[in-house]
Amino acid sequence: MKSVKARKVGSSTVLTVPKEIKALYTDYDVFAGTDGAIVYLPKLRIHLLMPSLLKLIGMPYPTKIF
């Protein structure tokens, strides 16, 4: 498991993607779980999310996408 640190860039907080993880898509939706988890999912596959996965990360269904 790789670890990254959040850093400020302007008014945004940035999480870098380690080079070992290849970003296969250009657009992602981001979710904030109630436990502090931050989840990025490809926009193309967002419709495939199962309610049980959202419950696992602490989000209600349907979700709010930022």
- Full-model pTM: 0.58
Q: Report d(CA 50, CA 66) in Å as an integer.
A: 18
Q: How far apart are the first and last CA of the chain?
A: 26
Q: Please give the pLDDT value at position 34.
A: 76
Share of the chain above pLDDT 70, in %: 68
Give the 3-state secondary structure percentages of the chain, helix then strand then coil, rounded to 5: 20, 25, 60
Confidence grade of residue 63 (pLDDT, cut at 50, 70, 90): very low
Checking if the pLDDT of 26 tops 80, the result is: yes
- Contact criterion met (CB below 8 Å) for 58 and 35: yes
> What pLDDT was estimated at residue 2?
84
- pLDDT tens-digit readout, 29-55: 888 877 888 888 887 655 555 666 667
